[in-house]
Amino acid sequence: MERPGAPLKETDLARTGTTVGDVPVLMIGARSAERRGLVILLPPLGGTKDQFEPELRRLAAAGLIGVAIDPRRHGERADRPAGALFDEVMAHFRQVMWPLLGGTVLDAMAVIDWVAARFEVPGPVLAGGVSMGGDAALALAGIDPRVSRVAAIAATADWTRPGMTRIGRPQETIDQGAATPSGQWLRDQLEPMSHPDRYRRHLEIRCDVGGTDSHVPPEAMGRFARLLADGSPRPSIQVIEHPGLDHAEICSSPQILDESLDWLAAGSDSGSD
């Protein structure tokens, strides 16, 4: 995350923990006029805003306001242990995941509204996330035109995840079950694959996918990229496949996370890579 001049010192950064409505928020940003944009990071299933504190500090030192939120039913608003929620999602995927995912997309948009209303944000709005958080970041860009750059890891534009298997058990296909009416509505309204026209604007997307990830199959992002290439204007989208990496491996790779966020932060300089 290089930029002209020296990075801001730790003493120039302000750490704030707050809530926006019922959304727990961690915000780390420059105290001074060094701000040049806003970035929101969204955690994976079972994750929390706090896991991104080191990344928020790096982004803030580069002059960005860094924000992370707890997804619905996670972190400070968890209604059960993370492991139990994970098991619930795997047992009733569409019934549980679609409301979690769709609700988190709407929460992220509301938090951007809150930050923009209270702090000077002279530059672009950037979004990043891992797995479920990457799904949410992609969907956020489809409904919020302020978002100009998205970096997603192990994410998909297709919420139905055709052929999805259990993590670490590629031979075991998950029975996704049926969605609730509210979950189906959220998917119908927010899923990127269902609304490609929303992405036909000045928008840059990077998605790192695992070549052997059968939990979030990488083919969907390739399909989405081809869909966006058929029309005008065309956003910039790159799908970077990492051969041999499964879902757990790509989600836990510090190198891939660093490279993804470096690319994301570079967009706050000139709006292009």
Percentage of the chain lying above the pLDDT 70 cut: 92
Task: Give the span between the Cα atoms of 37 and 57, in whole angstroms.
Answer: 14
Band of residue 35 on the pLDDT scale cut at 50, 70, 90? confident
Flag whether pLDDT at 183 surpasses 70: yes
Task: Give the span between the Cα atoms of 105 and 92, in whole angstroms.
Answer: 20
Task: Give the span between the Cα atoms of 133 and 233, in whole angstroms.
Answer: 26
Q: Which of 18-32, 92-106, 187-201, 245-259 has the lowest mean pLDDT?
A: 18-32
Band of residue 7 on the pLDDT scale cut at 50, 70, 90? low
Q: Which tens digit of pLDDT belongs to each residue from 213-264?
A: 999 999 999 999 999 998 889 999 999 999 999 999 999 999 999 999 999 9
Flag whether pLDDT at 270 surpasses 70: no
| pTM recorded for the entire structure | 0.92
Query: What is the mean pLDDT of the segment spanning 59-84?
Result: 94
Residue located via tokens 């509505």: 185
What is residue 231's predicted lDDT score, i.e. its pLDDT?
80
173: β partners: 165
